[in-house]
Amino acid sequence: MKKGSLYAIIFMILITSTFTFALAALNESTAGLIEGNQFLKQQKAILYVFNIPIHNGMSAEEISNLYKEHIRETTLGNYNVYEAFQNDNLLGYAFPLDGSGLWGSIRGIIAMTPELDTILGIDFLAHSETPGLGGRIDELWFKEQFRNISLGKTYPFVFYRPAQEGVVDSISGATATSKAVLDIINEDVNTIKETAKGGI
Protein backbone atom coordinates (compact mmCIF):
# COMPACT_ATOMS: atom_id res chain seq x y z
CA MET A 1 0.00 0.00 0.00
CA LYS A 2 1.31 3.45 -0.88
CA LYS A 3 2.24 5.80 1.93
CA GLY A 4 -0.16 8.45 0.63
CA SER A 5 -3.08 5.99 0.65
CA LEU A 6 -2.29 4.96 4.22
CA TYR A 7 -2.29 8.59 5.36
CA ALA A 8 -5.63 9.17 3.62
CA ILE A 9 -7.18 6.14 5.37
CA ILE A 10 -5.85 7.23 8.78
CA PHE A 11 -7.11 10.77 8.14
CA MET A 12 -10.59 9.51 7.23
CA ILE A 13 -10.71 7.29 10.34
CA LEU A 14 -9.69 10.23 12.56
CA ILE A 15 -12.24 12.58 10.96
CA THR A 16 -15.03 9.99 11.18
CA SER A 17 -14.19 9.20 14.81
CA THR A 18 -14.10 12.90 15.72
CA PHE A 19 -17.50 13.63 14.16
CA THR A 20 -19.03 10.47 15.63
CA PHE A 21 -17.81 11.45 19.10
CA ALA A 22 -19.06 15.03 18.64
CA LEU A 23 -22.52 13.86 17.54
CA ALA A 24 -22.73 11.38 20.41
CA ALA A 25 -21.75 14.11 22.89
CA LEU A 26 -24.30 16.53 21.39
CA ASN A 27 -27.02 13.87 21.55
CA GLU A 28 -26.19 13.13 25.19
CA SER A 29 -26.11 16.79 26.18
CA THR A 30 -29.47 17.60 24.54
CA ALA A 31 -31.35 14.42 25.52
CA GLY A 32 -32.81 16.02 28.66
CA LEU A 33 -33.89 19.13 26.76
CA ILE A 34 -35.56 17.06 24.03
CA GLU A 35 -37.37 14.93 26.61
CA GLY A 36 -38.53 18.07 28.44
CA ASN A 37 -39.85 19.59 25.21
CA GLN A 38 -41.73 16.38 24.35
CA PHE A 39 -43.28 16.32 27.83
CA LEU A 40 -44.32 19.98 27.49
CA LYS A 41 -45.79 19.28 24.03
CA GLN A 42 -47.86 16.45 25.51
CA GLN A 43 -49.09 18.65 28.37
CA LYS A 44 -50.11 21.36 25.89
CA ALA A 45 -51.91 18.79 23.71
CA ILE A 46 -53.85 17.41 26.68
CA LEU A 47 -54.91 20.90 27.75
CA TYR A 48 -55.89 21.68 24.13
CA VAL A 49 -58.14 18.63 23.69
CA PHE A 50 -60.06 19.67 26.81
CA ASN A 51 -60.28 23.25 25.47
CA ILE A 52 -58.39 24.60 28.48
CA PRO A 53 -56.81 27.78 27.08
CA ILE A 54 -53.06 28.34 27.02
CA HIS A 55 -52.40 32.05 26.63
CA ASN A 56 -49.68 33.49 24.40
CA GLY A 57 -46.45 34.07 26.26
CA MET A 58 -47.08 31.48 28.97
CA SER A 59 -43.83 29.96 30.19
CA ALA A 60 -43.20 26.22 30.41
CA GLU A 61 -43.57 26.47 34.18
CA GLU A 62 -46.93 28.26 33.90
CA ILE A 63 -48.19 25.64 31.43
CA SER A 64 -47.03 22.88 33.77
CA ASN A 65 -48.85 24.53 36.70
CA LEU A 66 -52.02 24.87 34.60
CA TYR A 67 -51.73 21.18 33.71
CA LYS A 68 -51.33 20.19 37.37
CA GLU A 69 -54.32 22.35 38.30
CA HIS A 70 -56.68 20.61 35.86
CA ILE A 71 -55.28 17.17 34.97
CA ARG A 72 -54.94 13.97 36.98
CA GLU A 73 -53.19 10.93 35.55
CA THR A 74 -54.41 7.35 35.96
CA THR A 75 -54.59 4.13 33.94
CA LEU A 76 -57.24 1.98 32.28
CA GLY A 77 -55.96 -1.42 31.22
CA ASN A 78 -52.93 -0.62 29.04
CA TYR A 79 -54.00 3.00 28.54
CA ASN A 80 -52.60 6.06 30.25
CA VAL A 81 -55.70 8.10 31.08
CA TYR A 82 -55.80 11.84 31.75
CA GLU A 83 -58.78 13.08 33.76
CA ALA A 84 -59.62 16.77 33.41
CA PHE A 85 -61.33 18.78 36.13
CA GLN A 86 -62.78 22.29 36.27
CA ASN A 87 -63.69 23.41 39.80
CA ASP A 88 -63.69 19.74 40.92
CA ASN A 89 -66.16 18.84 38.15
CA LEU A 90 -65.00 16.04 35.84
CA LEU A 91 -64.82 17.34 32.25
CA GLY A 92 -63.82 14.02 30.73
CA TYR A 93 -60.99 11.65 29.93
CA ALA A 94 -58.12 11.86 27.45
CA PHE A 95 -56.48 8.80 25.92
CA PRO A 96 -53.51 8.24 23.60
CA LEU A 97 -54.23 7.82 19.89
CA ASP A 98 -51.82 5.59 17.99
CA GLY A 99 -51.95 4.01 14.56
CA SER A 100 -50.54 3.88 11.05
CA GLY A 101 -50.64 6.85 8.70
CA LEU A 102 -49.61 6.90 5.05
CA TRP A 103 -45.87 7.27 5.72
CA GLY A 104 -45.50 6.12 9.32
CA SER A 105 -47.18 6.08 12.69
CA ILE A 106 -49.49 8.85 13.87
CA ARG A 107 -49.56 9.54 17.61
CA GLY A 108 -51.95 11.89 19.32
CA ILE A 109 -54.44 12.51 22.12
CA ILE A 110 -58.23 12.22 22.09
CA ALA A 111 -60.51 13.59 24.83
CA MET A 112 -64.01 12.30 25.48
CA THR A 113 -66.85 13.15 27.83
CA PRO A 114 -67.22 11.09 31.06
CA GLU A 115 -69.92 9.03 29.31
CA LEU A 116 -67.55 8.36 26.37
CA ASP A 117 -70.27 9.43 23.93
CA THR A 118 -68.75 12.67 22.63
CA ILE A 119 -65.29 13.63 21.39
CA LEU A 120 -64.18 16.81 23.14
CA GLY A 121 -61.10 17.29 20.98
CA ILE A 122 -58.08 15.70 19.32
CA ASP A 123 -54.47 16.74 18.85
CA PHE A 124 -51.41 15.15 17.25
CA LEU A 125 -48.05 14.65 18.94
CA ALA A 126 -46.05 13.07 16.11
CA HIS A 127 -46.46 11.93 12.52
CA SER A 128 -44.52 11.54 9.26
CA GLU A 129 -47.17 12.79 6.85
CA THR A 130 -46.27 14.97 3.85
CA PRO A 131 -46.10 18.73 4.60
CA GLY A 132 -48.83 20.60 2.72
CA LEU A 133 -50.85 17.41 2.21
CA GLY A 134 -51.33 14.84 4.97
CA GLY A 135 -49.26 17.04 7.28
CA ARG A 136 -52.23 19.42 7.36
CA ILE A 137 -53.75 17.25 10.10
CA ASP A 138 -51.83 19.63 12.41
CA GLU A 139 -53.81 22.61 11.13
CA LEU A 140 -56.32 24.13 13.52
CA TRP A 141 -59.28 23.92 11.11
CA PHE A 142 -58.85 20.16 10.79
CA LYS A 143 -58.48 19.50 14.52
CA GLU A 144 -61.27 21.90 15.55
CA GLN A 145 -63.90 20.09 13.47
CA PHE A 146 -63.53 17.16 15.90
CA ARG A 147 -64.52 19.43 18.79
CA ASN A 148 -67.69 18.23 20.60
CA ILE A 149 -68.61 15.58 18.02
CA SER A 150 -71.31 13.18 19.17
CA LEU A 151 -70.24 9.60 18.56
CA GLY A 152 -72.43 7.17 16.70
CA LYS A 153 -73.90 4.26 18.65
CA THR A 154 -72.02 1.65 16.64
CA TYR A 155 -68.72 1.29 14.79
CA PRO A 156 -67.65 3.37 12.88
CA PHE A 157 -68.36 6.14 15.36
CA VAL A 158 -67.12 9.03 13.19
CA PHE A 159 -66.99 9.36 9.41
CA TYR A 160 -66.28 11.98 6.75
CA ARG A 161 -69.14 13.86 5.16
CA PRO A 162 -69.46 17.65 5.01
CA ALA A 163 -71.92 19.83 6.89
CA GLN A 164 -73.58 17.32 9.18
CA GLU A 165 -73.39 16.91 12.92
CA GLY A 166 -71.05 14.15 14.03
CA VAL A 167 -69.07 14.06 10.81
CA VAL A 168 -66.05 15.96 9.51
CA ASP A 169 -64.37 17.01 6.26
CA SER A 170 -61.34 15.15 4.94
CA ILE A 171 -58.25 16.99 3.67
CA SER A 172 -58.37 17.68 -0.07
CA GLY A 173 -55.45 15.92 -1.76
CA ALA A 174 -54.68 13.80 1.29
CA THR A 175 -57.34 11.10 1.14
CA ALA A 176 -55.09 8.33 2.49
CA THR A 177 -53.99 10.34 5.54
CA SER A 178 -57.56 11.52 6.19
CA LYS A 179 -58.77 7.92 6.09
CA ALA A 180 -55.89 6.81 8.34
CA VAL A 181 -56.80 9.44 10.97
CA LEU A 182 -60.43 8.36 10.90
CA ASP A 183 -59.46 4.68 11.16
CA ILE A 184 -57.20 5.42 14.14
CA ILE A 185 -59.96 7.37 15.91
CA ASN A 186 -62.60 4.71 15.28
CA GLU A 187 -60.33 1.80 16.26
CA ASP A 188 -59.08 3.49 19.43
CA VAL A 189 -62.55 4.71 20.46
CA ASN A 190 -63.83 1.16 20.01
CA THR A 191 -61.01 -0.25 22.15
CA ILE A 192 -61.49 2.45 24.80
CA LYS A 193 -65.23 1.75 25.01
CA GLU A 194 -64.61 -2.00 25.31
CA THR A 195 -61.91 -1.53 27.95
CA ALA A 196 -64.03 0.93 29.94
CA LYS A 197 -67.08 -1.33 30.23
CA GLY A 198 -66.09 -2.12 33.80
CA GLY A 199 -65.71 1.59 34.56
CA ILE A 200 -62.78 3.98 34.64
The C-alpha atoms of residue 78 and residue 188 are separated, in whole angstroms, by 12
pLDDT value for 7: 76
pLDDT value for 4: 62
pLDDT value for 73: 94
Whether residue 96 is preceded by a cis peptide bond, meaning omega within 30 degrees of 0, is no
Is residue 71 within 8 Å of residue 62, measured between CB atoms?
A: no
List per-block mean pLDDT (blocks of 10 residues) for the chain, which spans 200 residues: 70 81 71 72 96 92 95 90 94 95 91 95 91 85 91 77 57 77 92 84
Per DSSP, what are the bridge partners of residue 83? 72, 93
pLDDT value for 32: 65
